[in-house]
Amino acid sequence: MAYPQGIQIVPSRILDDLRQLRTFGSIGQGVNRRSLTETDLASRLWLCERMREAGLEASIDGAGSVVGKTPHSRRILIGSHTDTVPDGGWLDGALGVIYGLEIARSLMESPGSGDTGIEVMSFIDEEGRFTPLMGSRVFCGEIREDEFAELRSAEGVNFSDVLSQANLSDKPIQRLDPGIHIAYLEAHIEQGPVLDNKQIRIGVVTGIVGASQYRIGFHGQKNHAGTTPMSLRYDAAKAMFEFVGRFTKYFNDNARANTTWTCNEVRTEPKAGNVIPNFAEFSIQYRDLSSEILAILDQGVEDICKEVATGNGVAFDKEKTVELVPMAMDEQLINRIHSAAIERGVSSHKMPSGAGHDAMVIGRYIPAGMLFIPSISGLSHDTEEDSHEEDIRIGAEVFARAVSNHIDHLDCFSRA
């Protein structure tokens, strides 16, 4: 075995690094560090420097992603992101990057005899100032360099301009190479309440759910709410309410325990209590690990829209605004994380990830696995987001054990 005691990490160094990283863009308890702002660039230089101190070969690539490698011919990729949403949390993304840094640092301190090392990445712009999951998509070749010029933030900032201002335009782009990068592992805060609610230390992510989202509008006829009998109405709001009632039943009949669905962005027109609405609009979204379930729910939306529109004498229009394909995590890596939690003697729970992560991109090309630690009250994308120190430490130990067990397995396998 390359690491008979596993990779011996020092959890206090993780907390130190996370606290230092938190000073870049600190706001209240949280952080405002949108990708490629001055604050974000400063944090990337800091991260690069930390990686070099750890003995890694480190650089910022031509898209802004930070990469640090141990000197091995094949490497487990450990990554996440250090950019944040506006007024976001201090651990969202940062946790997984710093876990990777500490694991690579520990490995460099006590190098084993194997061929497999670590490559740590902080992917640029996971939170989509320019486009969501950008760094991992660039890394996997899903966004080409000639497409950078098109990217523009909501405030009208060109991605290519900030790149050249930061002297990054001419740097090489790091690319996924399945011959070198043999697995991807990402640790992240849960961003939901499940682990905190069940008092469980480790979430073993079985996959990242896919999602469908529609904007649906019903179009009826405006009329006086007092003088128009119920039988002569073409009430857009009534159609909407009926849709939701019928979809509720359809969902309960067709979805699974972990499927989620949400209606929001509801509005009716005109805004007057004594007028029958001629327009009602809302968004409906559902998420599941199974493409089949999503397809069944899509069909339900279509059928129920038609039935309700016909039944109420109104028209409807709908538009699919989100379509995300589910991404299953690798079975071997799922088991690796699960076993590591058992070895460490802590509780774990197999669960889907309801939020998107870089692992959903990279998992399309190489085996990917994810570990969650609990988020206090499930708070996320909020300056109040936090996790207990003990959960941060235990998460790191389980994650490091999973990584070193996987390295051992790979090294044994390569020698066999």
In the complex, the residues that contact a copy of itself under the rule CB under 8 A are: 190-194, 197, 209, 211, 213, 215, 223-230, 232, 235, 237-238, 240-241, 244-245, 248, 258-268, 270-277, 280, 282-283, 285, 287, 321-322, 353-356, 378, 380-381
Which residue's CB is nearer to a copy of itself, number 63 or number 95? 95
Least Å from the CB of residue 212 to a copy of itself:
11
Taking the C-alpha atoms of residue 391 and residue 46, their distance in angstroms, rounded to an integer, is 25
Residues 6+ apart with CB under 8 A from 111: none
Q: How many residues does the chain have?
A: 416
Which lies closer to a copy of itself via its Cβ, residue 364 or residue 381?
A: 381
Q: Which is nearer to a copy of itself, 4 or 273 (CB)?
A: 273
User: What Rg value do the Cα atoms of the chain yield, rounded?
Assistant: 24
Phi and psi at residue 294, to the nearest 5°: -60, -40
In whole angstroms, what is the distance from residue 280 CA to residue 266 CA? 7
Among residues 82, 104, 77, the alpha carbon closest in space to that of 367 is found at 77
Q: Say if residues 215 and 400 touch (Cβ distance below 8 Å).
A: no
> Between residues 37 and 213, which has the closer beta carbon with respect to a copy of itself?
213
Q: Minimum Å distance from CB 327 to a copy of itself?
A: 13
Q: Alpha-carbon distance 213 to 60, whole Å?
A: 35
CB closer to a copy of itself out of 46 and 250: 250
User: At residue 258, what are phi and psi to the nearest 5 degrees?
Assistant: -90, -5
Which residue's CB is nearer to a copy of itself, number 62 or number 193?
193
Annotate 120-151 with DSSP letters as a single string.
EEE-TTTB-SSSBTHHHHHHTTSS-GGGGGG-
